[in-house]
Structure 1
Amino acid sequence: MRVLDGVGRGAAGIGVGLAVLMLGCGVAGADTVVPLPAGEQALTTATGIPVDLTRTGETAIISPSLAANGMSRTAQLSGTAYATVPGATGGTLETGYLVGCQVDLSGGLSLGGDVYLSPESMSPELNPSIKLVPGGVAVVKFGSKTIDPAAGAVGIAYRNRGIQLSGCGGFAEARAYSALTVTNDKGSAEVTLYGDPFSVG
């Protein structure tokens, strides 16, 4: 399984037309706190590595636009992605969010301030502007970390990481993903864990 192919298939039904901007500070306003359930993917890969991939403590704080604009809203996201991978000699854990919008009023997708993946791309890229057609998704990468073979584990925690949706004239939705790649002398394997979808307004 190719991790990013899985990400794309997991959100193929979400129509997108929005600008997603990373925010470095908190957002004021009438906030809605959305607690999200923990998730787990436990299995032994074809290469013989026992994997236990979890996401815990995930919450989303949804805020309306400060400018009282119905086409803009923000979310602050928190959570921890963690995997135990005894026997792995290498690999990476990546985590982030799939973000989609029902109606395209933005004329494209603009991204700033972090590393992102386009739906068609197989590797991270810095892109100040990405055009998305209806039915596409924005994959917003929050972080990536290399596995420490001595520890047999890897984790990424994020607290109040912000995204801002602009130019979205309809229902917006987001969903967490964590993509784990593990290697040993028999080869490599990939495992993806998705979170529950939630409304961004």
Structure 2
Amino acid sequence: MNLKTALAIVAAAVVAAGLSNGPTAKAEPVAMNEQAHQKVSSDGWRLNINITGETVNSVPNLAAAANSREGFVTATATATASGGANPITDSLFILGYQLGCQSDVSAGLNLGGTGGLGIGGSFTPGAAPSIGPSAGIGGFVQTIVQPGVIVDLPMTNMALSPSGNASLSIDNLHIKADACGGDVTVRSYAYLRISTEASHTSFAIYGDPIKI
């Protein structure tokens, strides 16, 4: 065996060893507690919202970046309104996540997806989050937030139906925080707002916080 052949064999062995380090560890999805809340508006509407079937799957960062965190979230939120004295003239029901980063981050947020038509949102520190049509079958949320700041990430929304019902569901959506030097903690929320000629009522429920 000549020197050139020997070096080629050694190089091939090194490459093979690098490719056979075993699969990357994968966390199991964590089932979160169900949440529910009831409220009666000033003009008699009985309002109910809940979050069920929520799981959070924190996974190793795909880019192996020390300052990025990512996971996948699944949840269903429902809302009902009944019994009010005045007709509902406007309503909004939102399912989303709040995200907090511990340290060493800067500003900006974008929400998008890999195909199809859905509802998306955007956030810039100092401005209110916006929601509107966006691409997204396999959606994702990517954010950079300032130290100690908590931001709302609305992921889907709808108005109540004429019968006073609404149901929102997200399944295995990607949530990601970049440029965070410390822990990243998320918690789900469901928000309901209704308006009548006599009153405006808003309230929300929140899931348990969990690190990703």
Q: TM-score, normalised by structure 1?
A: 0.75
Deviation per residue, 1:116-172 (Å, 9 max, x gap): 24464445168xx998542212221101101112x2111111101111221112111
Moved more, 47-56 or 177-186: 177-186
Sequence identity percentage = 24
| 1:182 Cα deviation after fit | 1.2
Partner of 1:92: 92
Please point out which of 151, 155, 166 is paired with 1:142: 155
Partner of 1:16: none
1:61 and 1:133 map into 2 onto residues whose CA distance is 24
Partner of 1:163: 175
1:73 and 1:66 map into 2 onto residues whose CA distance is 9
Matched, 1:78 2:68: no
Matched, 1:124 2:146: no
Partner of 1:49: 45
Please point out which of 191, 201, 204 is paired with 1:189: 201
In structure 2, stretches of 5+ residues that fail to align are: 1-23, 113-119, 133-141
**Aligned partners of 1:76 and 1:161 also within 8 Å:** yes
Greater fraction helix: 2
Partner of 1:15: none
Please point out which of 2, 27, 32 is paired with 1:31: 27
Larger radius of gyration: 2
Matched, 1:153 2:153: no
RMSD across aligned positions (CA): 2.4
1:76 and 1:145 map into 2 onto residues whose CA distance is 22
Cα pair distance change 1:122/1:164, threshold 3 Å: closer
Partner of 2:189: 177
Cα pair distance change 1:68/1:96, threshold 3 Å: same
Please point out which of 52, 62, 67 is paired with 2:63: 67
| 1:191 Cα deviation after fit | 1.1
Please point out which of 115, 126, 133 is paired with 2:121: 115
Letter in 2 for 1:199: K
In structure 1, stretches of 5+ residues that fail to align are: 1-27
Cα pair distance change 1:91/1:36, threshold 3 Å: same
Matched, 1:58 2:64: no
| 1:70 Cα deviation after fit | 2.1
Cα pair distance change 1:185/1:36, threshold 3 Å: same
**Aligned partners of 2:109 and 2:123 also within 8 Å:** no
Q: TM-score, normalised by structure 2?
A: 0.71
Cα pair distance change 1:31/1:121, threshold 3 Å: same
| 1:115 Cα deviation after fit | 0.9
| 1:85 Cα deviation after fit | 0.5
**Aligned partners of 1:179 and 1:192 also within 8 Å:** yes
Letter in 1 for 2:74: S
SS in 1 for 2:26: coil
